[in-house]
Chain A
Amino acid sequence: MSRQTPLHAAHVEAGGKMVDFAGWQMPLNYGSQINEHHVVRQTAGMFDVSHMTVIDVSGEGCCEFLRRMVANDVAKLDCDGKALYGALLNDAGGVVDDLIVYRRSHGYRCVVNASTRDKVLDWFADQAPADVLVEEKDLAMIAVQGPRAVVNFQTATHIDLIDELSPFGFLEHNNWMIARTGYTGEDGVEVILPKADVSALWEHLMDVGVQPIGLAARDTLRLEAGLNLYGQDMDTSTSPLVSNLAWTITWQPASREFIGRDALRAERTAGITQKLTGLVMEARGVLRRDQRVTTSFGDGVITSGIFSPTLGYSIALARLPIKATGDCQVEIRGKMLPVRIVKPPFVRRGQSVFD
């Protein structure tokens, strides 16, 4: 039996089409995923992301532990109230998961995917030394995203100073953690809060006109924003170097021996052969995962493909030979169709941004 978030009844009441996702019953859409997509790009929408896994890491050695676990360096978080995005790697340099790490006064909070919960908890338990405490927290989480998200959130909650948070900054307000982060390419916040508080927040946000958005629109929004989905655009068989995540690897100081470092160094020395990049297809049709891409430097494959509601045509992320640029072709139902390789993101703040 799959789990329900505390907002389950609210989703059903709002007309949510509930589906099983990573062991949770979650809303796929509340009618039209395209309309929901536009709401987030144009005004403000909210997502129940209570299925995501929240792990608190504390104790004497917590900073050194996370500096070893995460390829990005949590030591860059030079004060409380800052967060960063990064990847957990295995010894072979493959991505175990991506996560956000928040620095708090008594340790760190990690938010990882729902689909990877057991694997990551096991990985942390295996690796944690005696002076580090790893605890999963049973909390709720709402993402409010869109150009009006911050204004509407402040109106709904009467919590000030959210608009002064920088990207990846966060503040703590009673038992709530409010961070200027998201997965849509729009401004907004993600709020981690006790389960008992979440229904009231959801209702207050509804009252100020923030609309509920389902998982289907979450996928088209994140793909337009050029953001990877774990298990689809990257997994343990791919390193950050071939997943458009080289920017999340912190190489300096050289003395920091994070897990996977040696393998990444070896991969770089041997020469990186692939890249995760963007495709656009203005011809009619929709790019889909697993479709073959033919370039003059060899073949590649689409890892995520959608119809982009903002652009009005199809876009994709694809793993291609590193030298491939410009025009190439995708095979769709036996036909070779022209596509163009572009650097993601495709859309930021509601506007087309690729060249």
Chain B
Amino acid sequence: MSEIPTELRFATSHEWARLEEDGSVTVGISDHAQNALGDVVYVELPEQGQLVAAQHEAGVVESVKAASDIYAPVGGTVIAINSALDDAPELVNQDPYGAGWFFKMEPADVEELTELLDPEAYAEICEAEEH
């Protein structure tokens, strides 16, 4: 059973989104997702300042075994990227909800967060995939 923090919202494509106190949204992939991918070796992040629409491609995560697109859980502007992943992509496996974050956005419409899955609904999706 993978870990699912309660303060997060999730996309069906396994990204998580966290609303920060300053109104920005941090994005990463879930524990379930990193576990399914296996060892991450390379993360292609969006550019700082890039505009991305909700559910549109915002990067790629490559593990030894497979490449997987990362979709923006909400629309907005990319305001920071986690450049630590360049040299230490394994952070995605080691700490998917912490040091393994991908990028931060300034959301165009913070209400879009409510359209994402809450932890309970996301747990059901993970469970269905695990069986």
Using a CB–CB distance below 8 Å, which chain A residues touch chain B? 17, 28-29, 32-34, 216, 220, 284-286, 288, 306-307, 309, 333
Chain B residues lying within 8 Å of A284, measured Cβ to Cβ, are 42, 44
Residues from chain B with a CB closer than 8 A to the CB of A309 are: 64
CB distance from B49 to the nearest CB of A (A): 21
Contact A216/B65 with A32-B93, A333-B60 known, Cβ cut-off 8 Å: yes
How far apart sit A21 and B44, CA to CA, in the bound complex (Å)?
30
B84 at the interface (CB under 8 A from A): no
B46 CB to closest chain A CB (Å) equals 14
Q: Known contacts being A285-B42, A286-B41, is A220 close to B60, with CB within 8 Å?
A: no
In the complex, B38 has a CB within 8 A of chain A: yes
Q: Are B64 and A216 in contact (CB under 8 A)?
A: yes
Known contacts A216-B64, A220-B64; A286/B42 CB under 8 A:
yes
The residues of A that contact B42 with a CB separation of less than 8 Å are: 284-286, 307
* 21 pairs, A vs B, C-beta closer than 8 Å: A17-B35, A32-B38, A32-B93, A33-B38, A33-B39, A33-B65, A34-B90, A216-B64, A284-B42, A284-B44, A285-B42, A285-B62, A286-B41, A286-B42, A286-B64, A286-B67, A306-B65, A307-B42, A307-B62, A307-B64, A333-B60
Selected from A17, A33, A285, A333, the residue in CB contact (under 8 A) with B64 is A33
Say yes or no: B60 contacts A306, CB within 8 Å. Answer: no
| Chain B residues at the A interface, C-beta cutoff of 8 Å | 35, 38-39, 41-42, 44, 60, 62-67, 90, 93
List chain A residues, Cβ under 8 A from B67. 286, 288, 333
CB proximity of B1 to chain A, nearest CB, Å: 13
CA distance A333 to B60 in the complex (A): 10
Chain A residues whose CB sits within 8 angstroms of the CB of B93 once the complex forms? 32
A240 to B90, CA, bound (A): 38
B41 touches A307 (CB 8 A): yes
Q: In the complex, what residues of B have CB within 8 A of residue A306's CB?
A: 64-65
Chain B nearest CB, measured from A20 CB (Å)? 13
Residues of B within 8 A of A28 (CB): 38
| Closest B residue to A28 using CB positions | B38
CB distance from B96 to the nearest CB of A (A): 14
Alpha-carbon separation in the docked complex, A17 to B34 (Å): 13
Task: Give every chain A residue within 8 A of B66 (Cβ-Cβ).
Answer: 288
Tell me the smallest distance from the CB of B82 to a CB of chain A, in Å.
15
* Residues of the B chain whose Cβ atoms lie less than 8 Å from the Cβ of A286: 41-42, 62, 64, 67
> What separation, in Å, do the CA atoms of A220 and B39 have in the docked complex?
12
